[in-house]
Amino acid sequence: MSLSTSVIFDASAPWSLSSQVSLRDEAFGALAYHHGNRRLVFLKSRELVAILRSLENFNSVNEAIDAVVPNEHDRYVEAVGALVKSDIICGR
Amino acid sequence: MGANSSLRDKFERGLAAPICLTWELTYACNLACTHCLSSSGRRDPKELNTDEAKALIDEIAAMQIFYINIGGGEPMIRRDFFEIIEHAVNQKVGVKFSTNGTRIDAEAAKKLAAIDYLDIQISIDGADAETCDKIRGEGSYAAARLAMDHLRDANFGEFKISVVMTRDSIEQLDEFEAIAKHYGAQLRLTRLRPSGRGVDVWDELHPTQEQNRRLYKWLMERPNVLTGDSFFHLSALGDPLDGLNLCGAGRVVCLIDPIGEVYACPFVIHDEFKAGNVRDAGFNAVWTESDLFTSLREPGNPGACGSCGSYDACRGGCMAAKFFTGLEMTDPDPECVFGHGETALAAKKVMLIPKPSPDHSKRVPVSINSK
């Protein structure tokens, strides 16, 4: 399994949820499972899940975040960026 | 994974579907391991048939259970084994299955290597034939090593070598690591539970306090060694081991047995922990509505452990280990790292140890070479 540890996360660029990832809603947020690298990741807020699901409709991660949680922008840039290393999201 | 404690609290209240679903495909087995947690040997005539097995997989896929752990018995004994696992992976339900390896010849290895979303765990319980065969039966070690050779020759990729930690095998940690390295395999260590036939050997085989401390240290230095979250009772020794560090029974974990009975976890195949049967209203109904699982998701009573400063680290330990050693749920884990479990065991004047309910053990001793 190869993880894209070298990919640099740029929140002003367009990203999307990997086509290999399934999301399962849970009371705390969701489980994200990557069928390729078999990683299971816990998404700890429903807002984060909403942002991930909408990523492909926006031209940047920043815009996707501001549409859901404009007051917590920086925190969510960090949360979305943390998903790069497990390939949950990828650049497009 | 290292879940933070607020997430762990949420897990204790249960998930929409399990993260870790074990499905024992059959009680039939060509070995008779002394510690078998499902008391396997003879096939149950009420076993789910191929159509029922496929329907269950369809439901698992619909519930978005991303992967299942298949075991037994020896799952490869079922004639429809490949049909069942292919049905799962075709719907993107990943399969991880445990096997003794006896059915993995060169041809089976090639077939397995061609399937995506498939993980294999081959069990050995010693790093040499003498140690392993004492538990798993004569010839078991050689058969498992041969299966590993076949998987390597078929370029299966990274398989897993699964070892139960006994008083003997725990002395061979470095040797297991070397075997795994030899094959480019991943090592997986799990806890000996007093479940199934394990109840008869637990007293003499479970690791000593000193061995458990060494194991904890060894694991902390090797985060890549898998444990299936099985040693969370040792997290009371210091920093938590990798994993959720909670008893997942009925919350994030459960077991479906070969005849469709749903139990709270793979280590409690006993009427007291039976939540329902998939043949009645389906698996989802059992998972979401059963009285047993509902009660397991209520906040636990820390009991005797409430005043211990490490309760948050180990959460009182393993429910199955307590139950099958005759302890109460509010007692400490029998292998509590501070010795409170041993004290609790000693205080029980009359030991009423529950026997596992369904016993499919063979009535005569078996050898691997017998037909």
**What is the full per-residue pLDDT of chain A (92 aa) written as tens digits?**
445 455 789 999 999 999 999 999 999 999 999 998 889 999 999 999 999 999 999 999 999 999 999 999 999 999 999 999 999 999 98
B64 touches chain A (CB under 8 A): yes
Question: With a CB-CB cutoff of 8 Å, which residues 193-232 of chain B face chain A?
Answer: none
What's residue B256's pLDDT? 98
pLDDT under 50: residue ranges of chain B: 1-3, 370-371
Angstrom distance (rounded) from CA B95 to CA B85: 7
B62 touches chain A (CB under 8 A): no
Angstrom distance (rounded) from CA B28 to CA B81: 13
Give B7's contacts in chain A (Cβ within 8 Å). Answer: 28, 42, 44
Query: CA torsion sign, A76 to A77 to A83 to A85?
Result: negative
Residues 6+ apart with CB under 8 A from B128: B141, B172, B175
State how far residue B17 is from chain A, nearest Cα, in angstroms. Answer: 9
Yes or no: say if A28 and B7 are a contact pair by the CB < 8 Å rule.
Answer: yes
Around Cβ B347, how many Cβ atoms within 10 Å? Answer: 9
A8 touches chain B (CB under 8 A): no
What's residue B2's pLDDT? 41
Around Cβ B324, how many Cβ atoms within 10 Å? Answer: 25
Q: Is the Cβ pair A44, B7 closer than 8 Å?
A: yes
Question: With a CB-CB cutoff of 8 Å, which residues 275-294 of chain B face chain A?
Answer: none
- B198: enclosing H helix or E strand: helix B198-205
What's residue B367's pLDDT? 63
Q: Angle, to 10 degrees, between the axis of helix B50-62 and the axis of helix B81-90? A: 20
Length, in residues, of chain A? 92
CA B32 → CA A19, B5, B37, distances in Å?
Answer: 44, 40, 11
What is the token pair recorded at A65?
A: 């975040």
Yes or no: say if B73 and B102 are a contact pair by the CB < 8 Å rule.
Answer: no
Query: CA torsion sign, B303 to B307 to B310 to B313?
Result: positive
Yes or no: say if B149 and B138 are a contact pair by the CB < 8 Å rule.
Answer: no
Q: What residues pair up with B274 in beta bridges, in sequence order? A: B263
Strand order in the sheet with A29-34: A21-26, A29-34, A39-43
